[in-house]
């Protein structure tokens, strides 16, 4: 291990404390509120640090889906009991309703767009201006492919 003495105000290195046989109070650069920086060195220190980062050394708790479904002390069981998130039929219906409203609004907005109109789009946070050249159905879009509006 190596030691460094840092200034309390500028955090710059005042002195490297590399003499193992000396006590800290014998160094001339020692001052009130100085910071003592301890740097682990050597292979042993590196191995100790790696112990805490190597997840292959940790025994994992694994459970099958069937066993998880049977348990009543899981997050999923709690959400099912409390009807939270995807387990709340009203929330699912509300989400579906909002998606349908969004699609209908998008269709309505798309009907107002005409070829030749000026437009501005955001591309990588930069506005790009141009002219509309195509209005219609794009077959490779999942939402648009199921809706024929034009």
Per-residue pLDDT at 46: 63
Query: 82: exposed, middle or buried (C-beta count within 10 Å: 0-12, 13-18, 19+)?
Result: exposed
Per-residue pLDDT at 147: 45
Q: Is residue 150 part of a domain?
A: yes
Q: Is residue 89 part of a domain?
A: no
Per-residue pLDDT at 22: 78
Per-residue pLDDT at 148: 46
Q: Are strands 2-6 and 13-17 parallel, antiparallel or unpaired?
A: antiparallel
Q: Is residue 104 part of a domain?
A: no
- Give the chain's domain count: 2
From start to end of the chain, where are the E strands? Answer: 2-6, 13-17, 35-39, 118-123, 126-131
Which one of 57, 85, 104 terminates a domain? 57
Q: Is residue 84 part of a domain?
A: no
Per-residue pLDDT at 44: 66
pLDDT tens track, the chain, 150 positions: 678 888 888 888 887 877 777 777 777 777 777 888 887 776 666 666 667 777 887 888 899 999 999 999 999 999 999 999 889 989 889 989 999 999 899 888 888 889 999 999 888 888 889 999 888 777 765 554 444 444
Q: Is residue 81 part of a domain?
A: no
The answer to whether the beta carbons of residues 32 and 8 sit under 8 Å apart is yes
From start to end of 40-88, where are the E strands? Answer: none
Residue 34, φ and ψ in degrees, nearest 5: -65, 155
Per-residue pLDDT at 3: 82
Task: Give the structural domain span for 140.
Answer: 114-150
Which one of 31, 57, 83 terminates a domain? 57
């Amino acid at each position: 291990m190596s030691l460094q003495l840092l200034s309390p105000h500028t955090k710059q290195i005042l002195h490297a404390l590399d003499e193992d046989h000396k006590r800290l109070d014998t160094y001339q650069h020692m001052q009130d509120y100085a910071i003592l920086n301890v740097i682990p060195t050597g292979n042993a220190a590196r191995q100790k640090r790696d112990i805490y980062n190597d997840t292959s050394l940790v025994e994992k708790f694994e459970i099958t889906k069937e066993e998880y479904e049977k348990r009543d002390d899981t997050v999923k069981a709690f959400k099912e009991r409390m009807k939270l998130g995807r387990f709340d039929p009203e929330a699912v219906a509300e989400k579906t309703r909002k998606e349908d409203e969004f699609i209908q609004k998008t269709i309505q907005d798309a009907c107002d767009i005409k070829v030749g109109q000026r437009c501005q789009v955001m591309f990588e946070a930069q506005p790009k201006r141009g002219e509309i050249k195509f209005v219609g159905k794009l077959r490779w879009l999942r939402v648009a492919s199921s809706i024929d509006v034009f």
